[in-house]
Structure 1
Amino acid sequence: QLVWNLVYRDRFATWALKEQNLASQRQVGALVFKKRKHFTSFTLFFCIAVKVYVKVFTNSPFLVCMDLARSREEVIDPKYLWIGPDRKNLEGQMYVNLTKTGKLMVMGFKESMSGAYTCTLSHKIIETTTQEERVVFEAYKFMVYVNPFAPGWEEVCHQVPYDCEDATNMRVQEARERIGEFFNEQTYALKHEFQTVPTIHYVDNSFSVTHIDSCRPGFGKNDITHKNCASCCVVCEPGTYSPNNEVTCQICTRPRVKKYGARSC
């Protein structure tokens, strides 16, 4: 238990966020500030970080500054404070959509926007036995990563208004079907319309498609770090890099790589 002579909400919120950054990935804990004659009681809760994956140049889903249990309760005088990866307040930033209910959407997501998005929810509660008013701070952390498409997505994305990944997959499937159809028709024509078969000709059932796994430079796959998106090309985290289209982010021994999506060490 800690007691302060004077507590200002903004200063406490700043302090709470610093503590939350140090306590990331920690199980829920609590710091309680008891109320005395001129003191206000504060409680700070930490939550485990949630990983979110966003396709490049699209908008993120709304990040909610409240867990499911809290959303089912009446929240008294709620206030929300969102802090981005650069540790700056996101309120008023042009690239975010921040609602009055504390929901955050990051628009036009790029590699450099990856990182920790932290929200601190402050609200009042009334103790039923003592009728004491207490302010509770709850910190929610979202690790947001950009997830691009395979090589060649840039050309496709400028031409289609809908999901680029779906468009790319549809075109690949269409190409596969057309190539297979061509060989089948050629085989039929050679058997029924020509008396002799050319020396070089298609052999039945020999056409197949092989999946080539690759990621853009600065991105890679990791089924341990990103279990919920193991097949996704996710932006390389600080301290790692990928210079080519391979699917692994390599570890950089130099301390210079401090950004997301590094392509060189």
Structure 2
Amino acid sequence: MSDANDNKLLSVKVYVKLDHNSPRILCVTNHLRNSELIDPIFRWNGPGGYLSSENSSVQISPTGTLILRHFKSHLSGVYNCSLRFKLTATQPDKKLLLKYVIYAIGLYCLYAESIAKYLIERFFKQEVEVRKKTAEPLPEIYYIEGTLQMVWIDRCYPGYGMNALRHPGCPECCVICSPGSYNPSNGIHCLHCDKSLKYGATKC
């Protein structure tokens, strides 16, 4: 059995785009990655409990590497991997526990604005062509070609927000709100709420 001093908890934040596969999440440290482990045993646990490759959204390699497929917001949370191994046949078992906090990240709510910009430009360009063919005076609102500008406002979907202090590895990402926070509308930040106990809350 391993000694209590062999246990080591490491915490790493991982960001995964919605509906994309996660990066390869290792169940070893960089130091052990280059070592030859004897009889390694890997075990992954996520927000829903024990993880198995029998689940179509989970892929675990023989070396313990985890990939989450087509990541959804409800999969956000704490993932632990325990590794039991020996470095030599005569040594007692060692145990390593790695902790990952995996966050879903969404895209800015800019798609609608992009469509709006396209439609506005198309309308005014058509208006210009019509006005070129008539001698009538210009209307009160008219378009001078090449002068239309759009001001982009960063917004996140409900349940997501930006926080450069909490997520320095992804400061401009719309990251799913952690338990204890929420975003009820298309705001920029997750708001504090002690009643919120889940990831991606939209209500307090």
Task: State the TM-score, normalized to the length of structure 1.
Answer: 0.64
Distance 2:100 2:40 in 1: 20
The match for 2:44 is 82
Q: CA RMSD in A?
A: 3.1
Distance 1:243 1:228 in 2: 24
Distance 1:119-1:216 versus aligned 2 partners, 3 A rule: same
The match for 2:92 is 134
The match for 2:174 is 233
Deviation at 1:253, TM superposition (A): 3.5
The match for 2:30 is 68
Deviation at 1:149, TM superposition (A): 2.6
Q: Deviations over 1:40-87 (max 9, x none)?
A: xxx22222x11111122332222111122322222222111111124x
Distance 1:178-1:92 versus aligned 2 partners, 3 A rule: closer
Distance 2:176 2:70 in 1: 15
Q: 2:149 aligned with 1:208, yes or no?
A: yes
Distance 1:248-1:181 versus aligned 2 partners, 3 A rule: same
- Percentage of pairs with the same residue: 31
> Are the counterparts in 1 of residues 109 and 154 from structure 2 also a CA contact under 8 Å?
no
Query: Please, which runs of 5 or more residues in structure 2 have no aligned partner?
Result: none
User: Matched residue of 2:92: which SS?
Assistant: strand
Distance 2:32 2:144 in 1: 64
Distance 2:70 2:109 in 1: 20
Q: 2:103 aligned with 1:145, yes or no?
A: yes
The match for 1:96 is 58
Deviation at 1:263, TM superposition (A): 1.2
Q: 2:160 aligned with 1:219, yes or no?
A: yes
User: Matched residue of 1:64: which SS?
Assistant: coil
Based on CA coordinates, which of the two structures has the bigger radius of gyration? Answer: 1
Q: After superposition, where does 1:29-178 map in structure 2 within 5 Å?
A: 31-32=4-5, 43-47=6-10, 49-86=11-48, 88-94=49-55, 95-126=57-88, 132-151=90-109, 172=114
Q: After superposition, where does 1:189-200 map in structure 2 within 5 Å?
A: 198-200=138-140
User: Matched residue of 1:117: which SS?
Assistant: strand
Distance 1:74 1:250 in 2: 47
* Number of residue pairs aligned between Structure 1 and Structure 2: 202
Letter in 1 for 2:51: L
